[in-house]
Structure 1
Amino acid sequence: MSMNQETLLAGRKVSKKPNWFKFDVRAYTMIGALLAIWVLFSLLHERFLTPTNLSNLFLQMSVTSILAIGMVLVIVAGQIDLSIGSLVGLTGGIAAILNVWYEWNTIPVIIATLLIGAAIGFIQGWIIAYRAVPAFIVTLGGMLMFRGILFGTTGSVTIAPLSPSMKSIGQSYTGDIIGWIFGILALAAAGYFILRKRAARAKVGFEVEPLAVSLVRMAVIGVLVIGFVYLMNSYKGIPVPFVMVIVLALVFTFISRNTVFGRQVYAIGGNPEAARLSGINIKRRILLVFVLCNTLAAVAALVLTARLNAATMSSGQNYELDAIAACVIGGTSLMGGTGTIVGAVIGALVMASLDNGMSLMNLESFWQYIVKGGILVLAVYVDIYTRQKKKT
């Protein structure tokens, strides 16, 4: 047998039929853990899987999810932000002051709060990117300063109650009809992106998955969406904060996957030196990452303040740790360069499910810290283990 024939046979042996149902260990492990948590708490407490409790669960996870969406970009870029919890407290306090003390209408309050969040993100990002001060130090200082400014600005008093329109940001629900419209739009979007991906692969000559596989994917998504909308409508409807989470997750997923900016952020976190040599403006990208993260912290502040109908001195305390934990549990690597928005949202759902379930069982609060801390350490261990395994 000639050398060319041997090479051809070897190539045939190596080439495998594509596996259209790729097994992502981290993703399936995370989803499996979430299902296991839900099954466990449903067996331990009959109220866990009721529409009322699940609606509260999705409402509770909204703030952490919004923070985690912004934190993913920061961590993927190889940075960290320890200030977002205190920033939630500060911007929420400013929103309440404007709405309660100065009687501003809801729209101006929202605009002012978002602008303040973006401005703080610009300042922190500029110091980190253009003055080369480590993000850990800058955001740690911000965490302390923002909390102190909150105490000084509000006089350490709770500011309440908010106006009805302001309060509706965190406490309102979609009606049944709007819920079903939202579900139909979600199904249409899922079908569009699946078929668009097929068409894009076929256009460039790549192998396309069988149509039956695509239909199965759409069917699974359809069952999940219809079941979710039906469940939420059986209580009060879909919580508006959770709708905001879905919209933000879709927008930032598109940004991270389908834009030059998103690809460059992943490149910076994966290999900063290679990113620099390829002509990426690293400083500008890091600056923009912190602007986006802190703007989302202001969005989370509006939701939290509206849900509580008050701005308190403890608002946002330790939320930065919950956001980081949600990202890591969702598959974001603290080494940078790896992570997804969807994974972070599922990680936030895992965290909220643990809090909700243990609260229903009337467990002492220290158990929540122990369990969440243990899961965080386990998630980081799995990340490091899988990275080492890939190298070998």
Structure 2
Amino acid sequence: MSDSTSGQASSAGRSGPNRSFFSQLELDLRLLGMIGAFLLICILFNIMTGGQFLTPRNLFNLTIQTVSVAIMATGMVFIIVTRHIDLAVGSLLATCSAVMAMMQTAWLPDMLGIPLGSPSLAILAIIFGVIVGGIIGGFQGYLVGFLGIPAFIVTLGGLLVWRNVAWYLTNGQTIGPLNETFQLFGGINGTLGETWSWIVGLIAAAAAVLALVSGRRSKLRHDFPVKPIWAEFVVGGIFVAAILGFIAILNAYEVPSRVLERQFEARGETVPEGFTASYGLPISVLLLIAVAIVMTVVARKTRFGRYIFATGGNPDAAELSGINTRMLTVKVFALMGVLVAIAGLVASSRLTFHSNDIGTLDELRVIAAAVIGGTALAGGVGTIYGAILGALIMQSLQSGMAMVGVDAPLQNIVVGSVLVAAVLIDIIYRRRVEG
């Protein structure tokens, strides 16, 4: 009883009449700015494309195109927070993709005699690809942490090395089509359908509300200030509306009639009159959500995460306090390698084959996504959700420019300019906050 009273008193003290509506909601202003920028981009391109940008089909494609970069961006947050950089992610993605492609189309069938269409091929290929990504990432981290080679140099060399390792693994050939089970992680080839998408959406909405309730109770137990009850309801309502709205948009994209006809013909049936079906939530997006949750928990709730941000904030103090910063560097780069392998799974399965140019310029997009999302290049500051939103903004820019006919070179010029502008805005913002 005393905890509750104390918490309410603290809340009342913080939510006085002089506080504005938005300040009482305690929303991250940078997050609001990024959401505003994303909405502005969507509205602008929707006008320029005659209403084609905000169609369910395009938004569905936008989400699955964002996944691979967003997964890598969550790992790049940890890399940049610890004051390092990884320029090899695009090339390492190509190597991991090549390994997984060769495992399921040549190596495993030849060595173990597993049939090409077997689901076990895809599972073993994914496991082996993730292991390879982790080992290569850890090796790069060892060169940085224990041998003292700057991460910029190590990963710049990796950019050249791993791209060409991928070429040699496949003899420069395109490898495909990939296993059907493997392709489930690519987007349109693997979706939950309308019913299961709504079930997952309702579970996610309930989990978000429970997280808010749990957070409020935890603050009250420890006599920390809390938001007014009405503000909690508003924030919870925003979360629920965003989750269910996202599911509604994905479910609005219906499977084309010709695709339905092929599916029914494969089963020896005909499409019932008036029958429709929706794609729903892609498995790749579900994978991204799982990665985001795990990375957020690691960042906020584990000793490893605390060590990462402590090291990024002040490396010398972190080392003096007993943190093994060298081994921490190895672990962070190994984690980055694992996430790159997962991103390679998504990227190659979306294409349904492995190509030599897969992951090209992804290092630029991943770093840009992390920086746009609020990760400070000076280290010590960054968020997982910010990096994912940054990846979505980057992909929206590229997709929108492609739809209005902007050629690829100019697209890259815009992306590079946005990266520089994002760093400048971050510097100005932090100077104001600190000053």
TM-score with structure 1 length normalisation?
0.93
**What aligned pairs does 1:112-123 form with structure 2 within 5 A after superposition?**
112-123=128-139
Is the contact between residue 15 and residue 24 of structure 2 (CA under 8 Å) also seen in structure 1? no
**What aligned pairs does 1:231-380 form with structure 2 within 5 A after superposition?**
231-235=249-253, 236-380=279-423
Query: Quick one: distance in 2 between partners of 1:25 and 1:257?
Result: 20
Structure 1 runs not aligned, ≥5 long: 1-13
Aligned partner of 2:24 among 20, 23, 32: 20
| Gap change, CA 1:152 and 1:22, over 3 Å in 2 | same
**What aligned pairs does 1:1-392 form with structure 2 within 5 A after superposition?**
17=16, 19-22=23-26, 24-45=28-49, 46-102=51-107, 103=109, 105-170=121-186, 171-235=189-253, 236-392=279-435
Query: Quick one: distance in 1 between partners of 2:329 and 2:59?
Result: 37
Query: Quick one: distance in 2 between partners of 1:346 and 1:365?
Result: 23
The secondary structure found in structure 2 opposite 1:20 is helix
The secondary structure found in structure 2 opposite 1:122 is helix
* TM superposition shift of 1:168: 1.7
Which segment drifts farther, 42-51 or 56-65? Answer: 42-51
Is the contact between residue 97 and residue 341 of structure 2 (CA under 8 Å) also seen in structure 1? yes
* TM superposition shift of 1:25: 3.4
What per-residue deviation string (whole Å, max 9, x for no partner) do you get for residues 184-203 of structure 1?
Answer: 12112111111111111111
How many residues are matched? 379
What per-residue deviation string (whole Å, max 9, x for no partner) do you get for residues 320-348 of structure 1?
Answer: 11000000111111111111000000000
Query: Quick one: distance in 1 between partners of 2:130 and 2:217?
Result: 38
* TM superposition shift of 1:242: 1.2
* TM superposition shift of 1:373: 1.4
What per-residue deviation string (whole Å, max 9, x for no partner) do you get for residues 285-308 of structure 1?
Answer: 111111111100000111111111
* TM superposition shift of 1:275: 1.1
Query: Quick one: distance in 2 between partners of 1:371 and 1:131?
Result: 37
Letter in 1 for 2:29: V
Query: Quick one: distance in 2 between partners of 1:135 and 1:106?
Result: 33
Letter in 2 for 1:272: P
TM-score with structure 2 length normalisation?
0.84
| Gap change, CA 1:114 and 1:225, over 3 Å in 2 | same
Is the contact between residue 64 and residue 284 of structure 2 (CA under 8 Å) also seen in structure 1? yes
CA RMSD of aligned residues (A): 1.5
What per-residue deviation string (whole Å, max 9, x for no partner) do you get for residues 86-124 of structure 1?
Answer: 010011011111111233611111110011011111111
Is the contact between residue 312 and residue 379 of structure 2 (CA under 8 Å) also seen in structure 1? yes
Is the contact between residue 25 and residue 227 of structure 2 (CA under 8 Å) also seen in structure 1? no
Provide the residue aligned with 1:4 in structure 2.
none
Is the contact between residue 53 and residue 59 of structure 2 (CA under 8 Å) also seen in structure 1? yes
Query: Quick one: distance in 2 between partners of 1:23 and 1:215?
Result: 13
* TM superposition shift of 1:360: 1.2
What per-residue deviation string (whole Å, max 9, x for no partner) do you get for residues 151-188 of structure 1?
Answer: 12211111111121112221311111210111112112
What per-residue deviation string (whole Å, max 9, x for no partner) do you get for residues 236-267 of structure 1?
Answer: 11121111111111110111011111111011
Query: Quick one: distance in 1 between partners of 2:178 and 2:374?
Result: 37
Letter in 2 for 1:177: T
Provide the residue aligned with 1:8 in structure 2.
none
Query: Quick one: distance in 2 between partners of 1:181 and 1:225?
Result: 12
The secondary structure found in structure 1 opposite 2:206 is helix
Q: Work out the percentage of aligned pairs sharing the same amino acid.
A: 39
| Gap change, CA 1:185 and 1:15, over 3 Å in 2 | closer
The secondary structure found in structure 2 opposite 1:79 is coil
Query: Quick one: distance in 2 between partners of 1:184 and 1:254?
Result: 21
Structure 2 runs not aligned, ≥5 long: 1-12, 115-120, 254-278
Letter in 2 for 1:28: L
* TM superposition shift of 1:15: 8.2
